[in-house]
Chain A
Amino acid sequence: MQNTIYQKLLSRRVIFSLIFLLLLAAPLFMSDFRLNLLGKFLAFAILAIGLDLLWGYTGVLSLGHGIFFGIGAYCMAMYLKLEATGGTLPDFMAWSGMSELPLIWLPFQYPIIAILLGILIPAVVALFIGYLTFRNRISGVYFTILSQALVLVVVTLFVGSQNLTGGTSGLTNFKTLFGFQVNSASTQTAFYLITVVVLGLVFFACRKLIKGRFGKILVGIRDGENRMRFLGYNPSAYKTFIYTLSGGIAGLAGMLFVLQVGIISPTMIGIIPSIEMVLWVALGGRGTLIGPIIGAVLVNAAKTGFSESYPDIWTYFLGLLFVLVVVFLPKGITGLFEKWSDRRKKQDVSSSVEVEKSYS
């Protein structure tokens, strides 16, 4: 028994390392175009891990992660834009009749500050919203609705303040980062590798977080919040912390996204993208860390393949996917694997107790 568990751990660790190495080696055998796409998917995967910490482990569903992703992306884009214009006014500001750089753009002249703010601002927004809602035990669907309203508000704000954010067309036309050409193949490969490394770091950090006592508390909050409260824990504090962390991770993902895609606009962070993010986690398997990565890559790969040639069919498919995953695959793809390996184990060990976890 001890032996099989050890073996399983070993094999899982081996598999993870293999995947990681394969991703690192991808530039050797993939075309620039495909590498760029994969890099984009992996940036989404980083966000999905953060979302899963919140939903899969803590049981709080946020339909508003597009916002945190977007704020991170805009922070990076603002720096890139200033770098491209060489310290003068970006074109859209001149069009809307501004003569000097607005105050909130000033910190973004410096790359390090821009990167730090790209993580800090989403985290602080999440901390603020999380504190105000979780403190009052606003949870479940109430929080979910509020998070969706947050998306609507922020997107309206971004579209409305044309002179600060570029309005509906967003920010694009970037040239350099730290003096490197953003669009050159070698820089893009470097961005890809950075994304893979960041993904690995986020993955292992979250794994450390989840495996210990802390992770058990989160799952406890998910499955019986009041019981945890009676046991002396303060679920609100844990939820707020995870929401903040998840917001920061989303901001990080947004920065990596904008570097590789070269544009960010309000439609990319709105209500529909935000809820699609939830689908990545649901399809991959909530409550596991590898699931969201699989989900994010699969859904986006399918989307790129389908939606360009058949956008109509893609929408039907997306809708259907939501229904099917929720009804038939509540544990996602990783759930399928688990079932499969459980079945195999059952042949070895006749007595196994199925523990039904109540999700959501």
Chain B
Amino acid sequence: MFGLNEIIITLFNGISLGSILLLIALGLAITFGLMNVINMAHGELIMVGAYITYVIQNLFVNYAPPEYFDLYFIISIPVALIVAAGIGMLLEVSLIRHLYKRPLDSLLATWGIGLILQQTARSIFGAPNVGVTSPSFLTGGLEVGTLFLPYSRLFILGLSIVCLFSIFYYFYRTASGRRIRAVMQNRQMAECLGVSTRKVDMLTFAIGSGFAGVAGCALTLLGAIGPTIGTSYIIDAFMVVVVGGVGALFGAVTGAFGIGILNTVFEYVTNATLGKVLIFVVIIAFLQWRPSGLVMSRSRSLD
């Protein structure tokens, strides 16, 4: 009934979805793990990244010679990273900093911010979706036998792996990353030892938001973009964080690919609607077994 080709294609699509979720959830996992803040505006930061790509594309169309057009995508990734990180930093300094003790309140406030950002995008770019032309080196795909693997999806997979490794390197091999982990594990003790938790919080939030921008950039490869582009992925990305557990990148990776692959398989075997229901049931069932996610951060403190 299911041929080998179909199985491989479904698996590939699952991995591809997983890599998108990973790209989105990385930022969430960092901010949630460190500050216990659920940033509901994360989806809108993705949207910011996507629209930045769109704007840069238009700039290239209008002002750059056509032979350099493909460069726009390479430029937009760092620009999206920086702008989204900047917005994230601003958000942290002006709003989230005051709500650290109240995680549910920060969730609501960031949702309000997300709503404002979304409406701003709608005012500037209009409600209908806009298209971004993929650069020529990412159109087409790799043909392996009878299989066709689009370059764009392979690129996103590669991008998420690069992001993962750079975060890993940053966290485990640099002094600044070590400080972040110190604050994550024991905030008071880190503070006592002279780590400026203020600065660390700001930096971490900026990094998490920056990754949202990169994810937005990547999403333009998959289709048209609109003001609500972030919301369609964000809940799944939250589920990745819930399933993966807090405090370890490994959890986010497993969660992302697990949910991505299961989602695609369920949707392939049943249909899009039932697939969503099934994945929710699986997640609830999974949480019966591992209530605090795949990777638990051990702590002796209760409250």
Mask of A281-325 contacts with B, CB within 8 angstroms, 1/0: 010000000000000000000000000000010011011111100
Given A140-B104, A149-B280, A316-B116, A322 and B239 contact (CB-CB distance below 8 Å)? no
On whether A156 and B95 interact (CB within 8 A), knowing A141-B104, A316-B116, the answer reads no
CA distance A315 to B113 in the complex (A): 11
> CB distance A149 to B238 under 8 Å?
yes
B105 proximity list for chain A (CB < 8 A): 326, 330, 359-360
Neighbour of A137 across the interface among B276, B291, B303, CB < 8 A = B291
Q: In the complex, which of the residues A156, A275, A323, A358 contacts B113, with contact meaning CB atoms closer than 8 Å?
A: A323
Size category of the A interface is: 35 or more
| Closest A residue, CB atoms, query B114 | A319
Asked if B190 is at the interface (CB within 8 A of a chain A CB), the reply is no
CB atoms of B98 and A327 under 8 A apart: yes
CA of A282 to CA of B303, assembled, Å: 25
In the bound complex, what is the Cα–Cα distance between A138 and B242 (angstroms)? 10
| Neighbour of B242 across the interface among A145, A271, A358, CB < 8 A | A145
B103 touching A141, Cβ below 8 Å = yes
Q: How far apart are the CA atoms of A160 and B273 in the complex, in Å?
A: 6
Majority secondary structure, B binding face: helix
**Whole-angstrom distance between the alpha carbons of A136 and B101 in the complex?**
23
A84 in the interface, Cβ–Cβ < 8 Å? Answer: no
Q: Is the CB of A138 within 8 A of B109?
A: no
Min CB distance B243 to A, Å, is 10
Flag if B291 contacts A136 (CB, 8 Å).
Answer: yes
Assembled-state Cα–Cα distance A312/B115 (Å): 11
Check B291 against A319 for contact (C-beta < 8 Å). Answer: no
> Is A58 in contact with chain B by the CB < 8 A criterion?
no
Contact A138 B111 (CB under 8 A): no
- Tell whether, in the assembled complex, residue A140 and residue B111 are in contact, meaning their CB atoms are under 8 Å apart: no
The answer, yes or no, to whether A161 is at the interface (CB within 8 Å) is: yes
B5 interface residue, CB < 8 Å from A?
no
**Distance in Å from the Cβ of B228 to the closest Cβ of chain A?**
10
Say whether B296 faces chain A, with CB atoms less than 8 Å apart: no
Q: Judging by beta carbons under 8 Å apart, are A149 and B277 in contact?
A: no
- 0/1 interface trace, chain B 60-102, chain A, CB 8 Å (1 if under): 0000000000000000000000000000000000010011011
Which residues on the A side are within 8 Å of B273 (C-beta)? 156-157, 159-161
The CA of A243 and the CA of B290, in the complex, are separated in Å by 22
Q: Mark B95-133, 1 if CB is under 8 A from A, else 0.
A: 100110111111111011111101100110000000000
Docked pose: A326 CA to B104 CA in angstroms: 10
Do residues B109 and A160 form an inter-chain contact, with CB atoms below 8 A? no
**CA separation between A144 and B280, bound complex, in Å?**
14
Asked if A126 CB lies within 8 Å of chain B CBs, one says no
Interface string of A148-172 (1 = CB under 8 A from B): 1110110011011100000000000
- Choose among A141, A150, A275, A282 the residue that contacts B38 (Cβ–Cβ < 8 A): A141
Chain B interface residue bracket vs A: 35 or more
Partner of B112, one of A61, A150, A318: A318
Contact call A145/B277, Cβ cutoff below 8 A = no
Q: Does B271 contact A (CB under 8 A)?
A: yes
Interface residue B8 (Cβ < 8 Å from any Cβ of A): no
* Distance in angstroms between the alpha carbons of A326 and B103 in the assembled complex: 11
Question: Could you tell me the distance between the alpha carbons of A81 and B289 in the complex, rounded to whole angstroms?
Answer: 42
Other-chain contact of A132, B36, B102, B231, B284 (Cβ < 8 Å) = B284
Q: A327 and B235: CB pair below 8 A?
A: no
| B112 and A319 contact, CB distance less than 8 A | yes
B242 and A224: CB pair below 8 A? Answer: no
Contacts of B136 in A (CB 8 A): none
Q: Is the CB of A319 within 8 A of B113?
A: yes
- Between B99, B113, B274, B284, the greatest number of chain A beta carbons within 10 A of the residue's beta carbon is seen for B284
Taking the closest CB of chain B, its distance from the CB of A336, in whole angstroms, is: 17
Docked complex Cα distance between A204 and B184 (Å): 46
CB distance from B47 to the nearest CB of A (A): 14
CB of B287 within 8 Å of the partner chain: yes
Bound Cα distance A140, B107 (Å) = 11
Contacting pair B102 A360 (CB below 8 A): yes
**Shortest beta-carbon contacts, A-B, top 9:** A322-B112, A160-B273, A319-B115, A136-B291, A319-B116, A360-B104, A315-B119, A326-B109, A319-B112
Write 19 A-B pairs (CB below 8 A) sorted by A numbering: A133-B287, A136-B291, A140-B104, A142-B242, A145-B239, A146-B283, A149-B239, A156-B277, A160-B271, A312-B122, A315-B115, A315-B116, A319-B115, A321-B112, A322-B108, A322-B109, A322-B111, A322-B115, A360-B103
